[in-house]
């Protein structure tokens, strides 16, 4: 069957849970061989690999802390050695370590910036190097980088200042990189998800009152699901989106419409 990502190799960081898991499964269903990158929970990554293989796809798991330069370089060496290269990087690994600003430790700041921003830089840099080494393969682009950002690349978020700063950084890193590598036909974009039902925000969707408050922030009046993101991701990574470049693609049920300003009176 001629699937839209046939013959391509993708690496999805943080691919063992939440949005990353769903993107890994979606890209594999569209024909890509997927490296499921994870940190510290091998059984979850193996479950994703098994799911993909059971559905007729190809996948392998690889542990890397994306904030570790040498480990990221090792991951790309393995992609070359065992998968014959790489066509798609999904820069998804991310975490929250929330604290009131005056209580935030340097460790909390460094870890969130390290994974969410430096991690995306390190993986993107290795991907760009690999794309240029390899030359054109089975896509119209030399390679594709998809950063998973957040509505908090533009919406300020008190109590989560390390996280908002990391995502604001991802936005201008992505756009500046898109400007820099567009001329060699490397496509770089972001998806900026809103509130998606994943382990990262369980305390919100698990608590009826918190969920009710969340709905005030979402014009479409539902929480997002990982599938909402993975469908957009598969499209952006495919040649169907060959003219989509340097864009933050908001998949947020309208959260960035600032519905608190609606005059419902």
User: Which backbone phi and psi does 254 adopt, to 5 degrees?
Assistant: 95, 10
| 3-state secondary structure (DSSP) of residue 193 | strand
Task: Indicate the residue among 93 and 151 with the shorter CB distance to ligand BGC.
Answer: 151
Complex with ligand BGC: residue 150 or 162, whichever CB lies closer: 150
Residue with smaller CB distance to ligand BGC, 71 or 155: 155
Residue 50 CA to residue 170 CA, distance in Å, equals 31
Question: Is 163 a residue of the active site?
Answer: yes
- Judged by CB under 6 A, the stretch of 15-23, 84-92, 129-137, 147-155 that binds ligand BGC is 147-155
Q: Total residues at the site for ligand BGC (CB under 6 A)?
A: 9
Calculate helix-pair angle for 161-181, 106-113, nearest 10 degrees.
30
Q: Per 3-state DSSP, what percentage of the chain is helix, strand, and coil (rounded to 5)?
A: 50, 15, 35
Distance CA 37, CA 95 (A): 15
Q: Which stretch binds ligand BGC (CB under 6 A): 30-38, 50-58, 102-110, 192-200?
A: 192-200
The yes or no reply on residue 201 touching ligand BGC (CB under 6 A) is yes
Applying CB under 6 A, among 21, 62, 144, 152 the residue interacting with ligand BGC is: 152
Query: Which single residue brings its beta carbon nearest to ligand BGC?
Result: 150
Query: Which of helix, strand or coil describes residue 235?
Result: helix
**In Å, what is the CA distance from 113 to each residue of 26, 94, 124, 144, 235?**
28, 9, 15, 23, 28
User: x/- site string to ligand BGC, residues 244 to 263, per CB under 6 A?
Assistant: --------------------
**Which residues are bridge partners to 115 per DSSP?**
none
> Is residue 151 near ligand BGC by the rule CB under 6 A?
yes
For 110-174, the DSSP string reads HHHHIIIIIHHHHHHHHHHHHHHHH---SSSSSEEEEEE--GGGTS--TT-HHHHHHHHHHHHHH
141 versus 173: smaller Cβ distance to ligand BGC: 173
Nearer to ligand BGC, 207 or 242 (CB): 207
Considering only 71, 99, 154, 200, the residue that binds ligand BGC (CB under 6 A) is 200
Q: Determine the interface stretch with ligand BGC among 111-119, 121-129, 145-153, 227-235 (rule: CB under 6 A).
A: 145-153
Q: Cα–Cα distance between 233 and 223 in angstroms, integer?
A: 18
Interaction between residue 96 and ligand BGC (CB under 6 A) = yes
195 binds ligand BGC (CB under 6 A): yes
| Sites of contact with ligand BGC (CB under 6 A) | 96, 150-152, 194-195, 200-201, 204
Q: Which residues are known catalytic residues?
A: 163
């Amino acid at each position: 069957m001629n699937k839209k990502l046939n013959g391509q190799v993708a690496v999805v960081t943080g691919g063992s849970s939440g949005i990353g898991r769903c993107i890994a499964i979606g890209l594999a269903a569209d024909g890509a061989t997927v490296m499921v990158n994870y940190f510290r929970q091998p059984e979850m990554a193996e479950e994703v690999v098994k799911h993909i293989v059971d559905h007729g796809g190809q996948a392998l798991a690889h542990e890397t802390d994306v904030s570790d330069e040498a480990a990221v370089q090792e991951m790309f060496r393995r992609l070359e050695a065992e998968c014959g290269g790489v066509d798609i990087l999904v820069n998804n690994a991310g975490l929250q370590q929330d604290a009131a600003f005056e209580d935030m430790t340097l460790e909390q700041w460094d870890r969130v910036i390290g994974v969410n921003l430096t991690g995306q830089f390190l993986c993107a840099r290795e991907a760009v190097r690999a794309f240029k080494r390899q030359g054109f393969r089975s896509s119209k682009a030399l390679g594709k980088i998809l950063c998973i950002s957040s509505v908090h690349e533009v919406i300020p978020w008190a109590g989560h200042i390390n996280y908002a700063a990391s995502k604001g950084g991802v936005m201008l890193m992505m756009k500046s990189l898109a400007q820099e590598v567009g001329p060699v036909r490397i496509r770089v974009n972001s998806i900026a998800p809103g509130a998606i039902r994943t382990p990262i925000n369980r305390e919100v969707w698990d608590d009826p009152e918190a969920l009710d408050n969340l709905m005030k922030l979402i014009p479409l009046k539902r929480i997002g699901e990982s599938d909402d993101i993975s469908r957009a991701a598969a499209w952006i990574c495919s040649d169907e989106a060959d003219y989509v470049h340097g864009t933050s693609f908001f998949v947020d049920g309208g959260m960035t419409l600032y519905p608190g300003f609606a005059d419902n009176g």
